[in-house]
């Protein structure tokens, strides 16, 4: 297969539902184009006194339904097309979950593992100084993504506040609790994902108590998915991994023990009492539920035929290529699409914004209840359309989302 970049892949998913929606080529052209892109150079004085220039991007894909929203990723493999793709996904995700928000994404080409804390802070602040004219609580609100965390969001919120000369909590989400963060934000992506998995399991007659689970990625999404899967449903987490490799234990891993080991050693690998496994093998384990929670394009036409899981829950963005999607469908694997499965993160980011705007702080129970209500509404809508038209959950999810965006564009007089 000719290699495709992530933006082309995401556009393929869009294309499959625009045919269903009978969208004119003119509208489709607009849906396929990011509304605005900012490319910035970020010169940083490194700890050794040398100067290094990093490249950063902010892509605002579509704001028809509201201010754009999306995370900031720090990764050495970042490209403008990856950021465009993730911004498009945010547009469809926010629409599917009926949030009054459009989609955006940001990224810096860097390896945060090679930066000191001082360099990381300088880079985070420099990025915000460069993009601050196009972001803000009314137009575009960043959040964490791969290799960014609440501390990075704290520096970014602080830098934005300095730029506009007033404390502006609502400009960034995923912040620590002490400075306008929300209860429930840290595990929101995983908690929302488990809500979607539980709905799918109910439909498939799969008992989650004792169900086996393999999770790729042990960061925010993956580590919380492991602990919530065990604590909420009694699942047996048999395998987890990170960028260095994975571990397997047939009787089930204790996610808290894995987290402690990772904190001490820097990786999940080498946990006493576990067997080593690589990231490829993890995807092909004979488990009930497979959760890719790291990076994109990990299930392709090469390995999809070897996936044995009954349910594949896309906690990562775009882990499955369109070709792999077809193979998985033909072998009966139930795929919960990313824009549905990992929407919990942006839902609670939205709830964080609402609390910031209203100068309020809700309890964890309150946030969980609101997250559950929104996940339930989206899951039911996708399930309804999947049944009615005999289509895949991904196509159903895209159809609902794109229809809402097109309706907003039409109502605003853009089309």
Out of 55, 139, 167, 243, which residue is the one contacting ligand NAD (CB under 6 A)? 243
Q: Which of 69, 105, 175, 262 is catalytic?
A: 105
- Write phi, then psi, for 73 (nearest 5 degrees): -110, 135
Per DSSP, 174 falls in state S
Tell me the closest approach of the beta carbon of residue 20 to ligand NAD, in angstroms: 25
CA–CA dist 170, 20 (Å, integer): 37
> 163 or 351, CB closer to ligand NAD?
351
Out of 146, 239, 309, 371, which residue is the one contacting ligand NAD (CB under 6 A)? 146
Out of 27, 59, 294, 378, which residue is the one contacting ligand NAD (CB under 6 A)? 294
Out of 91, 241, 386, 392, which residue is the one contacting ligand NAD (CB under 6 A)? 241
Out of 42, 316, 371, 406, which residue is the one contacting ligand NAD (CB under 6 A)? 316
The answer to whether 279 contacts ligand NAD (rule: CB under 6 A) is: yes
Tell me the closest approach of the beta carbon of residue 316 to ligand NAD, in angstroms: 3
Q: How many residues bind ligand NAD (CB under 6 A)?
A: 24
The answer to whether 284 contacts ligand NAD (rule: CB under 6 A) is: no
Tell me the closest approach of the beta carbon of residue 163 to ligand NAD, in angstroms: 24
In sequence order, what are the beta bridge partners of 141? Answer: 69
Tell me the closest approach of the beta carbon of residue 294 to ligand NAD, in angstroms: 3
DSSP string of 259-303? HHHHHHHSSSTT-TT-EEE-HHHHHTS--SEEEE-S-SS-B-TTT
> 21 or 364, CB closer to ligand NAD?
364
- Write phi, then psi, for 236 (nearest 5 degrees): -100, 110
In Å, the largest CA–CA distance within the chain is 63
Single out the segment in contact with ligand NAD by CB under 6 A; choices: 159-167, 236-244, 373-381, 394-402.
236-244
The answer to whether 317 contacts ligand NAD (rule: CB under 6 A) is: yes
Q: x/- binding map, residues 67-86, to ligand NAD, per CB under 6 A?
A: --------------------
- 203-232 residues near ligand NAD, rule: CB under 6 A: 216-222
Contacts of 94 (CB under 8 A, 6+ apart): 65, 66, 69, 101, 102, 103, 346
Out of 23, 214, 315, 335, which residue is the one contacting ligand NAD (CB under 6 A)? 315
CA–CA dist 266, 257 (Å, integer): 13
The answer to whether 242 contacts ligand NAD (rule: CB under 6 A) is: yes
Residue 310 annotated to the active site: no
The answer to whether 144 contacts ligand NAD (rule: CB under 6 A) is: yes
CA–CA dist 302, 298 (Å, integer): 10
Single out the segment in contact with ligand NAD by CB under 6 A; choices: 20-28, 58-66, 292-300, 378-386.
292-300
Question: What 3-state class would DSSP assign to 121?
Answer: helix
**Other beta carbons within 10 Å of 297:** 18
Out of 189, 321, 356, 399, which residue is the one contacting ligand NAD (CB under 6 A)? 189
Rg (CA), the chain: 20
> 50 or 264, CB closer to ligand NAD?
264
The answer to whether 91 contacts ligand NAD (rule: CB under 6 A) is: no
Task: Name the nearest CA neighbour of 379 among 345, 343, 411.
Answer: 343
> What stretches of 136-266 adopt beta strand conformation (E)?
140-144, 212-216, 236-242, 245-248
The answer to whether 92 contacts ligand NAD (rule: CB under 6 A) is: no
The answer to whether 124 contacts ligand NAD (rule: CB under 6 A) is: no
Question: How far out from the chain centre does Cα 411 lie?
Answer: 29
CA–CA dist 337, 347 (Å, integer): 16
**Other beta carbons within 10 Å of 133:** 10
The residues assigned a catalytic role are 105
Q: What residue ranges bind ligand NAD (CB under 6 A)?
A: 144-147, 189, 216-222, 241-243, 279, 293-295, 315-317, 342, 345
């Amino acid at each position: 297969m000719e290699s495709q970049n992530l933006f082309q892949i995401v556009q393929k998913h869009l294309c499959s539902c625009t045919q269903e929606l009978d969208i004119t080529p003119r509208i489709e052209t607009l849906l396929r184009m990011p509304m605005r892109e900012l490319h910035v150079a970020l010169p940083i004085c490194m700890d050794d006194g040398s100067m290094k220039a990093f490249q950063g991007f902010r892509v605002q894909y579509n704001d028809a339904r509201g201010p754009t929203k999306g995370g900031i990723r720090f990764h050495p493999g970042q490209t403008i097309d990856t950021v465009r793709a993730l911004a498009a996904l945010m547009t469809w995700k926010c629409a599917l979950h009926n949030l009054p928000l459009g989609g955006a994404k940001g990224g810096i080409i860097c390896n945060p593992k090679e930066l000191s804390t001082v360099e990381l802070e300088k880079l985070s602040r420099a990025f915000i100084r460069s993009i601050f004219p196009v972001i803000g609580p009314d137009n575009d609100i960043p959040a964490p993504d791969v290799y960014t965390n609440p501390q990075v969001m704290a520096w970014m919120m602080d830098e934005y506040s300095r730029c506009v000369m007033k404390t502006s909590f609502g400009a960034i989400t995923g912040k620590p609790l002490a400075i306008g963060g929300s209860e429930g934000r840290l595990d929101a992506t995983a908690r929302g994902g488990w809500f979607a998995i539980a709905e799918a399991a109910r439909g498939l007659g799969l008992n989650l108590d004792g169900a086996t689970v393999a999770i790729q990625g042990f960061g925010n999404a993956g580590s919380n998915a492991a602990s919530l899967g065990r604590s909420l449903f009694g699942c047996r987490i048999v395998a987890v991994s990170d960028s260095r490799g994975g571990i397997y234990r047939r009787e089930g891993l204790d996610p808290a023990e894995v987290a402690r080991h990772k904190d001490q050693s820097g990786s999940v690998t080498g946990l006493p009492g576990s067997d080593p496994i690589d990231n490829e093998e993890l995807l092909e384990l004979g488990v009930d539920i497979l959760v890719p929670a790291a990076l994109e394009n990990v299930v392709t036409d090469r390995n999809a035929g070897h996936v044995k899981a009954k349910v594949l829950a896309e906690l990562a963005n775009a882990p499955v290529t369109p070709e792999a999607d077809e193979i998985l469908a033909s072998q009966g694997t139930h795929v919960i699409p990313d824009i549905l499965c990992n929407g919990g993160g942006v839902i609670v980011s939205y709830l964080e914004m609402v609390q910031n705007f209203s100068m309020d702080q809700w309890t964890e129970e309150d946030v969980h209840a609101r997250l559950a209500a929104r996940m339930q509404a989206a899951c039911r809508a996708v399930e309804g359309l999947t049944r009615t038209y005999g289509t895949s959950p991904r196509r159903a999810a895209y159809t609902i989302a794109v229809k809402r965006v097109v309706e907003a564009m039409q109502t605003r007089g853009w089309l």
